[in-house]
C-alpha cells in the first residue's frame, strides 16, 4: 500500500464494459506486470462514470486525469508516457470539438461541469466492491448517526424537512410515506427498494447500484429504522447482472461488518436485507405489483387502498422507494435538511439524475439540480445534436409513461411540477433526445407498442385500450388512418387515463397525448396526405432524387440494396420506384441533400407506378 502512487479508476459500468473496458484492464494489468509497476499502480474497476458516450473511460487519481475511448492498443503508450515518464497522454483526453483543445481534468469537461453530484457522489471514485472505500468517503456515517443518535421521528422529520420527493417518478414526498408506515402497527414491517428500472433508455438506477451499492444499503438502513422495518428486499431486474453481483457483495460485506443483520452497530436494531430478482416485467416496477412479485405471485397491481404503508408485502406495512431516493438519504442525514434544500426548487428539492440518450452528442448519466432547464442538459451537458446538420425535434421524458416535448418547451425547468404541467412526466429520469429524422407518429407507436406489450392484462382499459391505440397508430403509420382518428385517440386516451387500475395504464396515453398536442400536424399529414415527412413510415414515403442537386456521384446507387437507383456518372440519378423499399439508405448517404422525401405515389393516387407488388415482397 505504501508505495502506491497512482490509482487507475477503470469504468466498469455496463456501457464501458460493452465498449471494452475489461479488455483494457487486461491489457493494463499485463503491461503493469511487465514493467513491474504492480506496487505503484493500482487498478480499480468502478461503477458507471456517466460519460458513457466516451467509453471505455479511465480516470487517474490523484491528479484526476480523464482518459476516454481507451483501447487495449493504447495501453503501452499510456503506461509508458503517463505512468513512467509522467507525461499525460493528450491524445486520449477529452477534446472540445470546436477548440480542438484537450482537457485533462474531468471537472472541466463541459459534460461534467454543469453537474452537481450528490447521488452519484462516489461514481468513478471508489471501487464499488470495496466497502472500505465507501466508508473512507464518509460511508455509513449517516447510518451510524441515525441508528445511535436519532429517534425514528427525528429521521422522518429530517427527511420531511429536506423536501425530497420519490425519485421513482410520481414524486411522492418520501418523508410522508415513511411517516405513514411508521405509524402503522404490525408484527412485521418491510422496506423495499425498487431497482426494477424498466423504461427504455433509462439506466440511472442501474448505474447507482453498480457504482455505489453501499449508498443504497445505507439509505435503506436509515429508512428501516425510521419506519421500524426489520426486513427488506432490493428488487432488481435479473437483466442487471452486474448490479446484482455488486449488491450481493455489498450486502455480504455489510452483514459481515455488522452493518446489516442483527443488532447493527450495537444499536439493538435489526435489519435483514435480501435481493429479489425480477423477471423483467415492466409492470413489476409498480409498487403493488412488485410486492405481489416478491410474494411469488403473478406481478399484477392491486387496487389501493389499502395502501402499502398499511398493507403491503404479505399484507404488512411496507415502504417502497426507488434506488435513487435511497442513495439520497445518507447525505441528507449527514448534512441536514437545509443543505439538501439548498439545491433545487421550492417544491422539488435536491438533484435529479437523468439518463441522457438519443440523438445527443454526449450520451450518459447526468446529475443536475432540480430546476435546471432542459436546454442546459441537452446543449451544455449533452453537447447538442450528435449528427451534423440535424435539428433538435423533441425530447422524450419519463419513458413510455411520459411524453415528447418540442423545442418551444426546452426552457422548462426540470422539476416534478413543471414537467407534469407539460403533459410529460419526470418519471425515473429517462431523457431521450430526438432530431428531425424522427417521426413522432412512429415514435408514439413505438412507446404504445411497449406499454401494450408490458400491460399485465388485468384491467381492460390498459389491456385492450393500449392495444386498440397501438392498432390505430399502426394504421396511421401504414396509410390506413381515417378522418376523425385523432379525435378518437384523444377521447380514448381520456378514458384510459381515467379508468386504468395502475400507473402503467393511467400514464400509457401520455406519449399519444403529448405527441398530438405538440406535433399534431405530423399526425394530420399522415392521415390526410398519407405522407410521413420524415420518411420513417415507409408506407407513407417515397424517395426521389432532385436532379438539380444530384451530382451523379453514385454513392446512393452503390449503397442501394435493391439496385433501385440508376443513372450515368456525373448525371442526375433516378430511383426506380417499383424497386424501392424505402430503406432510407440513399437518403442517409447522400451528402448533397438531393434525396427528397415525398408522399407515397400509391397513396397519392398515382397507381400507375404499381409499386404495391414490389412492396408486398419486401414486407413479408
Judged by the rule CB under 8 A, the positions of this chain that interact with other proteins are 281, 283, 298, 300, 302-305, 452-461, 463-468, 471-472, 488, 491-492, 495-496, 498-501
**Closest-CA residue to 171 (of 394, 412, 467, 429):** 429
Closest CB to other proteins among residues 324, 454: 454
User: Please, what is the minimum distance in Å from the beta carbon of residue 467 to other proteins?
Assistant: 4
User: Please, what is the minimum distance in Å from the beta carbon of residue 290 to other proteins?
Assistant: 15
Go through the chain and tell me how many residues it has: 620
CA distance 194 to 123: 20
User: Please, what is the minimum distance in Å from the beta carbon of residue 482 to other proteins?
Assistant: 11
User: Please, what is the minimum distance in Å from the beta carbon of residue 285 to other proteins?
Assistant: 14
Closest CB to other proteins among residues 64, 499: 499
Closest CB to other proteins among residues 170, 260: 170
Residue with cell 424498466: 198
What DSSP string describes 86-126?
Answer: ----GGGBEEETTTTEEE-BGGGSHHHHT---STTTTTTTS
Residue with cell 448534512: 335
What DSSP string describes 432-479?
Answer: EEEETT--HHHHHHHHHHHHHHH--S-SHHHHTHHHHHHHHHHHHHTT
DSSP letter (8 states) at residue 259: S
Closest CB to other proteins among residues 259, 456: 456
Closest CB to other proteins among residues 115, 455: 455
User: Please, what is the minimum distance in Å from the beta carbon of residue 520 to other proteins?
Assistant: 20
**Cα distance between the two ends of the chain:** 64
CA distance 355 to 335: 26
DSSP letter (8 states) at residue 385: B
User: Please, what is the minimum distance in Å from the beta carbon of residue 232 to other proteins?
Assistant: 25
CA distance 315 to 229: 14
CA-to-CA separations, 541 to 150, 260, 368, 440, 599, in angstroms, rounded:
65, 60, 40, 15, 5
User: Please, what is the minimum distance in Å from the beta carbon of residue 451 to other proteins?
Assistant: 9
CA distance 572 to 584: 18
Closest CB to other proteins among residues 2, 305: 305
Closest CB to other proteins among residues 291, 575: 291
Residues 6+ apart with CB under 8 A from 525: 531, 532, 533
CA distance 126 to 469: 47
Closest CB to other proteins among residues 48, 459: 459
In three-state secondary structure terms, 307 is coil
CA distance 531 to 545: 17
CA distance 370 to 349: 6
User: Please, what is the minimum distance in Å from the beta carbon of residue 485 to other proteins?
Assistant: 10
**Closest-CA residue to 79 (of 115, 123, 27):** 27
318-322 and 351-358: which strand pairing?
Answer: unpaired
User: Please, what is the minimum distance in Å from the beta carbon of residue 490 to other proteins?
Assistant: 12
CA distance 554 to 590: 9
Closest CB to other proteins among residues 32, 470: 470
Closest CB to other proteins among residues 342, 488: 488
H/E element, 227: helix 213-227
User: Please, what is the minimum distance in Å from the beta carbon of residue 499 to other proteins?
Assistant: 4
Name 595's bridge partners. Answer: 545
CA distance 270 to 391: 55
User: Please, what is the minimum distance in Å from the beta carbon of residue 471 to other proteins?
Assistant: 6
User: Please, what is the minimum distance in Å from the beta carbon of residue 413 to other proteins?
Assistant: 25
Cell reading at 219: 439509505
DSSP letter (8 states) at residue 306: S
Closest CB to other proteins among residues 71, 314: 314
Residues 6+ apart with CB under 8 A from 422: 403, 405, 409, 412, 514
Closest CB to other proteins among residues 72, 449: 449
CA distance 436 to 315: 50
CB-CB contact of 153 with 160 (8 Å):
no
Closest CB to other proteins among residues 289, 349: 289
Closest CB to other proteins among residues 282, 379: 282
CB-count burial class (<10 Å; 0-12, 13-18, 19+) for 563: exposed
CB-CB contact of 561 with 616 (8 Å):
no
Closest CB to other proteins among residues 465, 481: 465
User: Please, what is the minimum distance in Å from the beta carbon of residue 168 to other proteins?
Assistant: 19
Amino acid at each position: 500500500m505504501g508505495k502506491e502512487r497512482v490509482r487507475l479508476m477503470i469504468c466498469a459500468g455496463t456501457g464501458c464494459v460493452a465498449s471494452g473496458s475489461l479488455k483494457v484492464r487486461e491489457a493494463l494489468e499485463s503491461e503493469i506486470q511487465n514493467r513491474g509497476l504492480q506496487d505503484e499502480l493500482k487498478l480499480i474497476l468502478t461503477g458507471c462514470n456517466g460519460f458513457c458516450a466516451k467509453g471505455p473511460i479511465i480516470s487517474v487519481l490523484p491528479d484526476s486525469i480523464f482518459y476516454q475511448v481507451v483501447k487495449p492498443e493504447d495501453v503501452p503508450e499510456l503506461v509508458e508516457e503517463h505512468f513512467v515518464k509522467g507525461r499525460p497522454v493528450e491524445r486520449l483526453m477529452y477534446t472540445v470539438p470546436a477548440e480542438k483543445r484537450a482537457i485533462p481534468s474531468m471537472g472541466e469537461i463541459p459534460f461534467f461541469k454543469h453537474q452537481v453530484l450528490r447521488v452519484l457522489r462516489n461514481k468513478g471514485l471508489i471501487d464499488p466492491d470495496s466497502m472500505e472505500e465507501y466508508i473512507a468517503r464518509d460511508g455509513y456515517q449517516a447510518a451510524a448517526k441515525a441508528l445511535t443518535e436519532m429517534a425514528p421521528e427525528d429521521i422522518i422529520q429530517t427527511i420531511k424537512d429536506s423536501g425530497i420527493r420519490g425519485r421513482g417518478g410520481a414524486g411522492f414526498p418520501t418523508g410522508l410515506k415513511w411517516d405513514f408506515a411508521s405509524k402503522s402497527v404490525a408484527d412485521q414491517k418491510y422496506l423495499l427498494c425498487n431497482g426494477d428500472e424498466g423504461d427504455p433508455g433509462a439506466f440511472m438506477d442501474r448505474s447507482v447500484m453498480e457504482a455505489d451499492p453501499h449508498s443504497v444499503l445505507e439509505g435503506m438502513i436509515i429508512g428501516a429504522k425510521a419506519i421500524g422495518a426489520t426486513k427488506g428486499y432490493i428488487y432488481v431486474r435479473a437483466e442487471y447482472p452486474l448490479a446484482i453481483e455488486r449488491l450481493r457483495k455489498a450486502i455480504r460485506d455489510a452483514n459481515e461488518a455488522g452493518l446489516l443483520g442483527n443488532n447493527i452497530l450495537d444499536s439493538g436494531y435489526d435489519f435483514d436485507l435480501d435481493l429479489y430478482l425480477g423477471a423483467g416485467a415492466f409492470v413489476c416496477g409498480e409498487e403493488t405489483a412488485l410486492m405481489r412479485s416478491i410474494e411469488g405471485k403473478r406481478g399484477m397491481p392491486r387496487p389501493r387502498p389499502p395502501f402499502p404503508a398499511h398493507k403491503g408485502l404479505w399484507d404488512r406495512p411496507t415502504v417502497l422507494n426507488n434506488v435513487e431516493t435511497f442513495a439520497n438519504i445518507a447525505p441528507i442525514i449527514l448534512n441536514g435538511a437545509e443543505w439538501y434544500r439548498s439545491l433545487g426548487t421550492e417544491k422539488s428539492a435536491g438533484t435529479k439524475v437523468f439518463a441522457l440518450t438519443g440523438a445527443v452528442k454526449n450520451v450518459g448519466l447526468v446529475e443536475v439540480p432540480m430546476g435546471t432547464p432542459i436546454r442546459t442538459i441537452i446543449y451544455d451537458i449533452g453537447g447538442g445534436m450528435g449528427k451534423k446538420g440535424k435539428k433538435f425535434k423533441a425530447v422524450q421524458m419519463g419513458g413510455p409513461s411520459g411524453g415528447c416535448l418540442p423545442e418551444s418547451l426546452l426552457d422548462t425547468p426540470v422539476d416534478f411540477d413543471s414537467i407534469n404541467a407539460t403533459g410529460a412526466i419526470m418519471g425515473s429520469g429517462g431523457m431521450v433526445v430526438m432530431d428531425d429524422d424522427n417521426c413522432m407518429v412512429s415514435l408514439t407507436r413505438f412507446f404504445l407498442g411497449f406499454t401494450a406489450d408490458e400491460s399485465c392484462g388485468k384491467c381492460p382499459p390498459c389491456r385492450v385500450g393500449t392495444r386498440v391505440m397501438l392498432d390505430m397508430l399502426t394504421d396511421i403509420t401504414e396509410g390506413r388512418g381515417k378522418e376523425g382518428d385523432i379525435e378518437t385517440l384523444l377521447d380514448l386516451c381520456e378514458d384510459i387515463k381515467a379508468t386504468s387500475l395502475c400507473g402503467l395504464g393511467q400514464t400509457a396515453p401520455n406519449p399519444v397525448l403529448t405527441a398530438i398536442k405538440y406535433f399534431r400536424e405530423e399526425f394530420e399529414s399522415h392521415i390526410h396526405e398519407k405522407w410521413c415527412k420524415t420518411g420513417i413510415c415507409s408506407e407513407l414515403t417515397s424517395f426521389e432524387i432532385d436532379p438539380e442537386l444530384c451530382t451523379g456521384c453514385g454513392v446512393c446507387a452503390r449503397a442501394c440494396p435493391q439496385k433501385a437507383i440508376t443513372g450515368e456518372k456525373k448525371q442526375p440519378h433516378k430511383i426506380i420506384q417499383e424497386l424501392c423499399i424505402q430503406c432510407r439508405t440513399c437518403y442517409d448517404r447522400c451528402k448533397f441533400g438531393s434525396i427528397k422525401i415525398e408522399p407515397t405515389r400509391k397513396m397519392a393516387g398515382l397507381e400507375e407506378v404499381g409499386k404495391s407488388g414490389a412492396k408486398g415482397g419486401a414486407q413479408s
